[in-house]
Structure 1
Amino acid sequence: MYCFSLGPISLRLSSSSLVLVGAWYTIFATSSVWSGALIRLPKWVFILLLLAPFLMAVIHGRIPHLRRTPEGELYGGFHLPLNMLPGREYGPPETEWLNMGYWENTTIFPEACEALALRVASMACVHSGHVLEVGFGCGDSLLLQLRHPSIPRPVTITGITSLPSHFHRAKQRIEQADLKEKIPTRLFLGDAVFREGTNPSSLTAEQEATVSIMESHPLRYPGNETLYFDSILGVDCAYHFKTRNLFLRQCYDRLTPGSGRLALADMCFEPTSSTPLTYLSKIIAFILRVPSANLIGRRAYRESLEKIGFDEIVIEDISSSVYSGFTAFLRTRGIMWVLFANIITIWHKGGGKFVLVSARRS
């Protein structure tokens, strides 16, 4: 087994994999026969051939930041180096954001991530009420609700995540945060979509300060008839849910009738005229664990919301403020991040749209 350190990323390859990858790139770099053939190949084929070893490594779990943890998590702590501020490359980062970011007027990852979360909060018209945050990562979006000056303090805040490492880290950070107000905070470890017969993961926890563990799923209905949320938010996560449409239906049931609002930073898929790029994008979606049922365009997304009963629906395409800035940033972080940036670029060119979604329960 060989381990190569590439900036903050380590790539582990067996000797056979090393030979395969090395031979692959040697052929492309040195063979005039292949070079001449490649000139005649469509661009999408050339890109696929170049990325094939990377995709194989992802599928076989060779790349740590895209490999599931022993607990079955797709995301671990790979994002922490991305949160390092320029000139502060040593020591733990001050933030632990994990989203693609909103890159207007910034080139700094934590600033872009916070800007995206603020856009979602703005779309939700968050005011002093009961807030549910889905897919809260390591807690930065929750802390944003609890202390950012532009967001009114909620009466209560509830969070859901399916990742144990994120759950425990977020709980720890909120308990240790120096907050001016102690807002009751409830966290739930489990899938974002409620399914009958499932129970939350077994946890033991101290009854600390303002953070408590929920034993009942926040979106359980019926069963939580007295629990309604004024806002339900999700930043860069709903496209992973199985399925997103079921999640939207459950959100509708748990939002305050007549005023509760849903706000998401999400992705749509609108295939381009290039069929090969469309196929490549679907392969990428599979690798990134995006269910095929979630690969729908903005029109179908709106129709789904309307069918559920939502009104005042807004779906805003912000792809130009997300993908270009995010991939430009990744290309400054080392070769493995460059390859990942290329994956994101193919997804975008193949029809991947990054959108802000807002809707009200009627």
Structure 2
Amino acid sequence: MDEPDSQEERRKSWGGGSRRIGRGRGLAKTRTIEAQPFLPSLEPPRTQVNTSYISPSQLGVGSLSMPSSTTPVPFLFGLVDSSTPLVFLLLPLVLLLPFSIFFLFKNSSDGSEPYVFEHIELNRLPGDPKSKKPETEWLNMGYWKDTTIFSEACEALSHLLLSRANLQPLGRTLDVAHATGDSLLLLKSPTSPYPRQAHIVGITSLPEHARRAAVRLAAVYPKRGESIQIICEDAVYRGPKSSGFKKHPLDPTGKKGEEGEEEKFDSVVCLDAAYHFRSRQKWLEQVLQSGLKEGGTVAFTDILSASSPSSSSSSSLEGFTIIPSSTTTNTSSSAEPSWLSRLLLRTILLPLLSVPSSNIVPLSSLGASMVQLGYEDVEIEDITEEVFPGLARFLGGREELSWRLMGRLVRWWSGGEAGGKGLLRFVVVKGRKPKGGKKD
């Protein structure tokens, strides 16, 4: 594997790992972006483009400079608090909803994605001048157990996920919704604690993220032959394409028999994006059937409902384990979220953030559905207290009003920092494909 010339070059270039979004929306013909030699002029890597869907200029890489506009998304619903009186709660929501929707999607290439480059500014280290570009471009909610710095928390969450992915020496790994490439860079880093991967495929539905990740990878690994592919496509396979480009990694066509098994992956990882997929259930089914080799592992972080399933939806199936957070406070005396809070979550907040409400299920419901699909050794680990409170504090300390409001929103849906009962839980999920195929 080609390595940067020095530790200093590695430190400045590779940065660390994650996300975003590979939602299940039909976007465009598959575009494969290969990491090509990095030229001093910062010319874009060679890119295959179906011009009937996206113009070459849209996929042109340009330079590595950070976009001039990094205005954060003003999540105005962060003003909502569980203690807010009803009359003061509903009026601002009704008045601000149109503006919130506009600002949320204004920087998206197609008006449907809530993340592009606004997150880069959050990676700036404390004390760094505004003129200095952040060295990392992480995009996830972070694991804040031992840090108060955004980039460190995001990298810690990526490490936590990869530690659950059962990466194999010289294995094949699919990284779903990798954002601008930090998770890919983490996997390829010479100092990575994980086994070297023979082949890595990244997939994202955002052309902006795909081309930026390609440039960053080419900067670190300039020679041809590096076994990384970046595909701009939805996380969920939507059917055969008529183009001549590389197939979707979850396309079942031609993946039968021993030769087809070799095209599959030992590990499939998804950092902080699965709740956006349309739908997560469909994605998990495709990963099991067409993505994983026998004995392979899927690992992803997710946001689920904090409520318990009703008796009619409860499952007695064995095969999954729920690990509660080690720092969860006893909340038996805490008030349950009000019906109004649940209504706002389902009818306003989730649609605004492009999260299908069908994905927000109780932890046990997700475990049972994965077992029903055919996964073995399903494990769901609740790490809410190491994620939401730290993120809320970080965003609440930002200078920008929009990020402070987002911090209020995170605090609201998590039930506050005192361990109260909230609306949502943050989890790490893993499951294994049985050897010999799906269980009977």
Q: TM-score, normalised on structure 1?
A: 0.80
1:276 to 1:197, Cα distance in 2 relative to 1, 3 A: same
Number of residues paired by the alignment?
A: 314
For the residue of structure 1 that corresponds to 2:370, the secondary structure is helix
Contact 2:73 2:118 in 1 (8 A): no
Structure 1 residue 124 corresponds to structure 2 residue 165: yes
Q: How does 1:174-323 map to 2 (within 5 A)?
A: 174-177=217-220, 183-198=226-241, 215-225=246-256, 226=260, 227-271=263-307, 272-282=336-346, 283-323=348-388
Matched, 1:56 2:98: yes
Aligned partner of 2:137 among 96, 111, 118: 96
Alpha carbons 1:255, 1:261 under 8 Å: kept? no
- Per-residue CA shift, 1:97-141, capped at 9, x if unaligned? 111101011010010000001111001122221000000000001
Taking the aligned partners of 1:47 and 1:318, their CA distance within structure 2 comes to: 29
What is the TM-score with the length of structure 2 in the denominator? 0.66
Alpha carbons 1:314, 1:357 under 8 Å: kept = yes
Alignment RMSD, CA only?
A: 2.6
Displacement of 1:87 in angstroms is 1.4
Candidates 148, 167, 179, aligned match of 1:137: 179
Name the structure 2 match of 1:83: 123
User: Do the aligned residues in 2 keep the contact of 1:218 with 1:224 (CA within 8 Å)?
Assistant: no
Residue matched to 1:337 = 403
Structure 1 residues 352 and 127: CA distance shift in structure 2, 3 A: same
Query: d(CA) in 2 for partners of 1:329 and 1:55?
Result: 25
Q: Percent identity?
A: 35
1:74 aligns with one of 111, 114, 117: 114
**Structure richer in helix, relative to its length:** 1
SS at match of 2:265: coil
Residues 53 and 306 (structure 1 numbering): CA distance in 2 closer, same or farther, change over 3 Å?
same
Higher relative contact order (CA 8 A, sep 6+): 2
Distance (whole Å) between structure 2 residues aligned to residue 57 and residue 360 of structure 1: 44
Shift of 1:186: 1.1
Aligned partner of 2:179: which letter?
G
Q: Report the counterpart of residue 9 of structure 1 in structure 2.
A: 71
- The answer on whether the counterparts of 1:99 and 1:236 sit within 8 Å (CA) in structure 2 is yes
Contact 1:239–1:267 (CA under 8 A) maintained in structure 2:
yes
Equivalent AA in structure 1 for residue 289 of structure 2: D
Residues in 2 aligned to 1:348 and 1:48: alpha-carbon distance in whole angstroms:
20
Note the residue ranges of structure 2 that are not aligned, 5 or more in a row: 1-68, 77-82, 308-335, 416-421, 435-440
SS at match of 2:252: coil
The equivalent position to 1:359 in structure 2, one of 428, 431, 435, is: 431
Per-residue deviation, 1:273: 4.5
Q: Decide whether the 8 Å contact of 1:157 with 1:183 is kept in 2.
A: no
CA distance in 2, matches of 1:199, 1:341: 44
